[in-house]
C-alpha cells in the first residue's frame, strides 16, 4: 500500500500542482489603455461638409461591403477577390500559424506525460565479472514519466502564454486589415478602369470630330477660303487625339492587369465596366460617427493594441526571471532483469526529482532583459498612438475631399457645358467666315480638356467614397 501511495504521489504531484497554480496571477504590470492622442471630434471648416447620421444608424465598420457597394458586377468581383487573392490567403494562413504557436506556448502550463519502454543488453568480460565468468546482463523497463515540467509559481510561463495569445489576436486583426484594403483596391481598380475606358472613348470621339474638321478645312483650303495655317492647325488636333488614344489604350490594359492581380484570377469580361457614367450610383454614402467610436475599432489600431498588450505581458516574464525556477521530473513504471518478470510483483519502480534554480549572478542579463521588455512596451505604446493619429488624419483627409467634391463636380459640369457652347458658336462663326480656325481650335481643346477633367472629377468622388468607407473601418465584415 505504501508503494502505491508513493508511486501515485510521484506521478500525480506535477499535475496537481499545475492545477492548483492555474489561477495564479502573473507579474506583468496591469494593462491600461493609453488615451487617444487626437481631438474628440472631426475637424470642421469650409472644407468639411456636415454629415449627420440618422438615429440608430449602423457604424461604418458594421456595414457589410455587400451593402455599401450597390453595383452587382462590382460585388461579384469583390467576392472573387476574397476567394482568390493571395495576400488575403497569406493573412489567413498567418492566423493559423499564430494559433498553433499560441497552442504550443499554452501547453507549457501543463505537464507532458510520455510513455517509454527500454531494453538494455550488456556483456561483462570475465575479468570484470563478480563470478569470474563472462556474463550477459539484460534489463527491461516500461513506464510513464513527466520530464522538465516547470511549476509556474511566478507566472513566467503564463506571461509567455498571454503574449502568444495577444499575438494571435493581433494577427486576426491584421487579416481584417488586409481584407479591408483588398475590398478597397478592387473597388478603386474597377472605377479607374471604367474612367480610363471612358477617357479612351472620348479620345476616339474627339478624333472622329477632329478628322471631320480637318476634311472640312482641307476642302475650304482647296477652294481658296482657308489658309495653309488652318490646315496645319487642324492636323495638330488630329495628331493630339491619336496620341491620347494610344496613351489611354495602354492605361486600360494596365488597369485590367492591376484588377486581375487583386482579384487573383482573370476578371470575367462580363463584369468589366465600359464607362464611368455607368457606375455613378454604384456606392452608398456613409457618415463618419465620432472619433472615439471609429478609430479604436479599426482593425489596424486593434492590431497595434494587441501588440502593446503582448509587450506588456513580456514584462511579466522578464520579472519572473529574477525568482527561483522549480522544475519537476518524475516517472513510474516497472523494471526487471528478465522480460518475463517485467510485470511481476516487486518490479515497481518510481522516480521523483525536483530541481530548484535560483539566479545569483548573471552579469546583469536578467536586468537587461527586463529593460528590453519595458522599452519594447514603450515602443508599442508610441506605435499604438501613432496608429491612432494616422487613422485620424486619413479620415480627416477623406472628409475634406468628400466635403468639397460635389462642388467641384458642379463647377466642372458647368465649365464643360460652357465650353461646349463656346465650341459650337466658334465653329459656326468659322464656317461663316467670321472667325479664324484658331478660335475653333482653342474652343475644341478647351472642351476636350473640360470633358477629361469631368471624368477625372467623377472618379475622384467615387474613389473618395471608397476611401472614406475604408478608413472608417468598413469592408472587414
Return per-residue pLDDT of the chain as tens, 477 residues.
344 444 444 445 544 554 454 445 788 999 999 998 998 888 888 888 765 554 456 778 888 999 999 999 999 999 999 999 999 999 999 999 999 999 988 888 888 888 888 888 888 887 777 777 888 878 878 888 887 888 888 889 999 999 999 999 999 999 999 999 999 999 999 999 999 999 999 999 988 877 777 776 677 666 666 667 767 777 777 888 899 999 999 999 999 999 999 999 999 999 998 889 877 888 888 888 777 777 888 999 999 999 999 999 999 999 998 999 888 888 888 877 777 777 777 788 888 888 888 888 889 999 999 999 999 999 999 999 999 999 999 999 999 999 999 999 999 999 999 999 998 998 888 778 777 777 877 888 899 999 999 999 999 999 999 999 999 998 877
Residue 131 DSSP label? S
**Distance from C-alpha of 60 to C-alpha of 64, rounded to nearest angstrom:** 8
How far apart (Å, rounded) are the C-alpha atoms in residues 415 and 412? 5
324 neighbors 356 (Cβ within 8 angstroms) = yes
Q: What whole-number distance in Å separates Cα of residue 189 and Cα of residue 70?
A: 16
The DSSP bridge pattern shows strands 113-124 and 135-151 to be: antiparallel
**Alpha-carbon span 334 to 426, nearest angstrom:** 109
**DSSP annotation string for 68-116:** HB--HHHHHHHHHHHHH-HHHHHHHHHHHHHHHHHHHHHGGGSPPEEEE
- Rounded distance, CA 174 to CA 156, Å? 27
Amino acid at each position: 500500500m505504501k508503494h502505491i501511495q508513493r508511486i501515485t504521489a510521484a506521478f500525480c504531484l506535477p499535475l496537481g500542482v499545475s492545477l492548483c497554480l492555474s489561477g495564479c496571477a502573473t507579474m506583468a504590470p496591469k494593462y491600461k489603455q493609453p488615451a487617444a492622442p487626437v481631438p474628440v471630434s472631426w475637424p470642421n471648416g469650409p472644407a468639411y461638409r456636415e454629415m449627420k447620421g440618422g438615429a440608430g444608424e449602423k457604424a461604418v465598420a458594421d456595414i457589410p461591403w455587400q451593402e455599401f457597394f450597390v453595383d452587382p458586377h462590382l460585388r461579384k468581383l469583390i467576392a472573387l477577390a476574397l476567394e482568390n487573392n493571395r495576400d488575403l490567403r497569406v493573412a489567413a494562413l498567418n492566423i493559423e500559424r499564430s494559433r498553433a504557436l499560441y497552442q504550443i506556448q499554452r501547453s507549457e502550463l501543463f505537464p507532458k506525460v510520455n510513455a517509454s519502454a527500454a531494453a538494455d543488453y550488456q556483456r561483462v568480460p570475465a575479468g570484470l565479472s563478480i563470478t569470474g565468468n563472462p556474463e550477459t546482463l539484460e534489463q527491461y523497463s516500461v513506464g510513464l514519466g513527466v520530464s522538465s515540467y516547470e511549476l509556474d509559481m511566478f507566472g513566467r510561463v503564463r506571461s509567455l502564454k498571454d503574449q502568444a495569445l495577444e499575438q494571435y489576436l493581433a494577427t486576426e486583426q491584421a487579416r481584417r486589415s488586409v481584407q479591408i484594403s483588398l475590398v478597397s483596391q478592387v473597388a478603386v481598380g474597377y472605377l479607374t478602369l471604367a474612367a480610363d475606358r471612358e477617357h479612351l472613348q472620348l479620345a476616339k470621339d474627339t478624333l472622329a470630330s477632329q478628322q471631320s474638321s480637318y476634311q472640312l478645312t482641307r476642302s475650304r483650303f482647296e477652294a481658296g477660303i482657308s489658309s495653309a495655317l488652318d490646315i496645319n492647325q487642324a492636323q495638330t488636333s488630329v495628331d493630339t487625339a491619336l496620341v491620347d488614344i494610344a496613351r489611354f489604350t495602354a492605361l486600360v490594359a494596365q488597369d485590367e492587369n492591376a484588377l486581375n492581380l487583386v482579384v487573383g484570377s482573370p476578371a470575367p469580361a462580363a463584369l468589366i465596366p465600359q464607362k464611368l457614367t455607368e457606375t455613378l450610383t454604384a456606392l452608398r454614402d456613409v457618415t463618419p460617427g465620432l472619433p472615439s467610436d471609429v478609430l479604436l475599432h479599426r482593425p489596424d489600431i486593434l492590431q497595434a493594441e494587441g501588440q502593446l498588450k503582448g509587450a506588456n505581458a513580456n514584462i511579466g516574464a522578464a520579472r519572473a526571471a529574477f525568482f527561483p525556477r522549480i522544475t519537476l521530473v518524475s516517472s513510474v513504471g516497472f523494471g526487471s532483469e528478465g522480460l518475463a518478470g517485467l510485470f511481476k510483483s516487486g518490479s515497481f519502480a518510481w522516480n521523483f526529482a525536483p530541481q530548484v534554480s535560483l539566479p545569483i549572478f548573471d552579469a546583469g542579463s536578467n536586468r537587461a532583459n527586463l529593460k528590453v521588455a519595458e522599452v519594447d512596451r514603450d515602443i508599442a505604446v508610441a506605435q499604438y498612438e501613432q496608429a491612432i493619429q494616422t487613422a485620424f488624419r486619413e479620415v480627416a483627409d477623406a472628409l475634406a475631399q468628400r466635403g468639397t467634391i460635389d462642388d467641384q463636380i458642379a463647377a466642372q459640369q458647368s465649365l464643360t457645358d460652357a465650353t461646349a457652347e463656346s465650341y459650337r458658336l466658334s465653329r459656326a462663326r468659322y464656317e461663316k467666315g467670321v472667325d479664324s480656325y484658331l478660335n475653333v481650335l482653342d474652343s475644341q481643346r478647351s472642351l476636350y480638356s473640360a470633358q477629361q477633367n469631368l471624368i477625372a472629377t467623377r472618379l475622384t468622388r467615387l474613389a473618395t467614397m471608397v476611401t472614406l468607407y475604408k478608413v472608417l473601418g468598413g469592408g472587414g465584415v
